[in-house]
Structure 1
Amino acid sequence: MTDEQKKPPAATDEVVRRLVNETGITDAQARELVAFLGPNNWTSLLREARILNPKGPKAV
């Protein structure tokens, strides 16, 4: 088993939260992307999230 497989689920939650905050996609969309691409493929996650929401995050 590799170190990546030993990571706790919280690591995935952190990636989802960061993806939502940085791109403005929904939590469900972020979770689906992470499920497809994996939590360690940050550049691909950002690329796909920006395709889903090209306008970026909403100002708070």
Structure 2
Amino acid sequence: MSDENQTIPLVQKLVQETGITETQAHELALLIGWNWNSRMREAKLIQAGAGAEFAGPPVED
């Protein structure tokens, strides 16, 4: 079985469990590799950032 064939179910599982897009899940698989815990951590960060509003750059005192 090739890496590409193994990626599809893992990408789908990541999308289902975290709510990120399939494109984001594919990019994580390519960047991070096969470590599931690392991919889940990054996917959760992506998802959390997707729901947050951007308030602009930090204000320096």
Structure 1 and Structure 2 fold alike (TM over 0.5): yes
Q: Which has the larger radius of gyration?
A: 2
Unpaired stretches in structure 1, ≥5 consecutive residues: 1-6, 56-60
Q: Relative CO higher for 1 or 2, CA cutoff 8 Å, sep ≥ 6?
A: 1
Runs of 4+ in structure 1 displaced over 2 angstroms? none
**Residues 1:26 and 2:21 are matched in the alignment:** yes
TM-score if structure 2 supplies the norm length? 0.71
- Aligned CA RMSD, in angstroms, stands at 1.5
Structure 2, unpaired ranges of 5+: 50-61
Q: How many residues align?
A: 48
